[in-house]
C-alpha cells in the first residue's frame, strides 16, 4: 500500500492523461463514426462502399497494429508528431470510429422507413432527411451502446502505454519496475483509477437506457 500512496502524483498524472486521450479520441470517433454511418446509408454507391470497407477493416484489425501504424509507420511516411499522444489519439479515434459507425447505423435502421419516405415526399433532400429526421432519433436510441463503446475506448487507451505514452498503464509499467516486490499493489492502484472512469460511465449508460425505455 505504501507504494500506491507514494506514487499518487504519478497515478494522478496518468489518470488525467488517460482521461484526456479518452475524451479527445471519443469526440473525434463520434464525429467520424457518424459520418461513416451516414455514408453507409447514402444513395451513392461509392460512399457506401468506402464506409463498409473502412468499418470492416478497422473492426477486424488488432488495435496494436493500428497503434504501430500510427506511431511508427506514419512518421516514416513523413507525418511527424511533436508528441506521441497525437499518434495515440489518431489510433484510438480511427479504431473506435468503426464501432461508433455500426452503432449509429443500427440506430438509423431502427427509425421507421415511413418517416424518411414522408420527408422525401415533401421535397426534402437526403441530407435534410438524415440531419433533421433520422439522425436525431437514431442518436437518442444508441446513447447507451455509445457509452459502452467509450468505456471500451478508455480500456483500449492502455495500449498507448506500450508506445511511450505515460497514461495509467504506462505509469503502472514504470512503477512496477520501481517497486518490483509490490507489483500487485501497483496494478491494483492502476485498476482503481481506471474504475474511477469506467464505473460512472457504466452507471450513466444504465440510467440513459432506462430513460430511453420509459420514453418509448
Ranges 16-20, 28-32, 168-172: which has the least confidence: 168-172
Residue 206 has pLDDT above 70, yes or no: yes
- The more confident residue out of 28 and 161 is 28
Residue range 14-38: mean pLDDT, rounded: 92
Interior angle at CA 98, CA 148 and CA 161, nearest 5: 70
Interior angle at CA 149, CA 143 and CA 151, nearest 5: 105
The closest of 119, 101, 98 to 109, measured between CA atoms, is 101
Mean pLDDT across the chain, nearest whole number? 85
Report the 10 Å Cβ neighbour count for 123: 7
Determine the Cα–Cα distance for residues 156 and 172; give it in Å rounded to an integer. Answer: 15
Determine the Cα–Cα distance for residues 94 and 102; give it in Å rounded to an integer. Answer: 13
Determine the angle formed by the axes of helices 8-40 and 183-215, rounding to 10 degrees: 40
| pLDDT 10s digits, 55-85 | 999 999 999 999 999 888 888 888 888 778 8
Q: Are 107 and 142 in contact (CB under 8 A)?
A: yes
Determine the Cα–Cα distance for residues 189 and 194; give it in Å rounded to an integer. Answer: 9
Residue in this structure with the C-alpha cell 489518431, named with its chain if needed: 90
Residue 179 has pLDDT above 70, yes or no: no
Band of residue 212 on the pLDDT scale cut at 50, 70, 90: low
Determine the angle formed by the axes of helices 84-110 and 143-156, rounding to 10 degrees: 160
Q: Are 7 and 158 in contact (CB under 8 A)?
A: no
Residue in this structure with the C-alpha cell 513523413, named with its chain if needed: 78
Residue 204 has pLDDT above 90, yes or no: no
- The more confident residue out of 190 and 102 is 102
The percentage of the chain sitting over the pLDDT mark of 70, rounded to a whole number, equals 93
Q: Where are the alpha helices (DSSP H) in 62-182?
A: 63-68, 74-76, 84-110, 113-121, 126-128, 135-141, 143-156, 168-178
Residue range 180-192: mean pLDDT, rounded: 79
Amino acid at each position: 500500500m505504501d507504494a500506491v500512496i507514494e506514487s499518487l502524483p504519478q497515478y494522478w498524472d496518468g489518470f488525467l492523461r488517460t482521461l484526456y486521450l479518452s475524451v479527445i479520441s471519443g469526440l473525434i470517433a463520434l464525429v467520424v463514426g457518424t459520418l461513416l454511418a451516414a455514408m453507409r446509408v447514402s444513395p451513392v454507391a461509392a460512399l457506401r462502399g468506402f464506409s463498409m470497407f473502412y468499418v470492416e477493416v478497422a473492426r477486424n484489425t488488432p488495435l496494436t497494429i493500428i497503434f504501430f501504424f500510427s506511431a511508427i509507420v506514419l512518421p516514416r511516411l513523413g507525418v511527424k508528431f511533436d508528441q506521441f499522444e497525437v499518434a495515440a489519439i489518431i489510433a484510438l479515434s480511427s479504431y473506435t470510429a468503426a464501432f461508433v459507425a455500426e452503432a449509429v447505423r443500427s440506430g438509423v435502421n431502427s427509425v421507421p422507413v415511413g418517416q424518411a419516405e414522408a420527408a422525401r415526399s415533401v421535397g426534402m433532400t437526403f441530407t435534410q432527411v438524415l440531419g433533421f429526421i433520422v439522425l436525431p432519433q437514431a442518436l437518442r436510441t444508441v446513447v447507451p451502446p455509445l457509452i459502452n463503446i467509450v468505456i471500451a475506448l478508455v480500456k483500449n487507451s492502455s495500449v498507448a502505454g506500450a508506445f511511450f505514452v505515460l497514461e495509467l498503464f504506462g505509469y503502472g509499467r514504470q512503477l512496477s519496475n520501481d517497486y518490483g516486490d509490490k507489483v500487485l499493489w501497483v496494478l491494483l492502484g492502476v485498476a482503481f483509477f481506471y474504475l474511477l472512469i469506467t464505473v460512472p460511465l457504466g452507471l450513466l449508460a444504465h440510467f440513459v437506457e432506462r430513460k430511453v425505455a420509459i420514453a418509448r
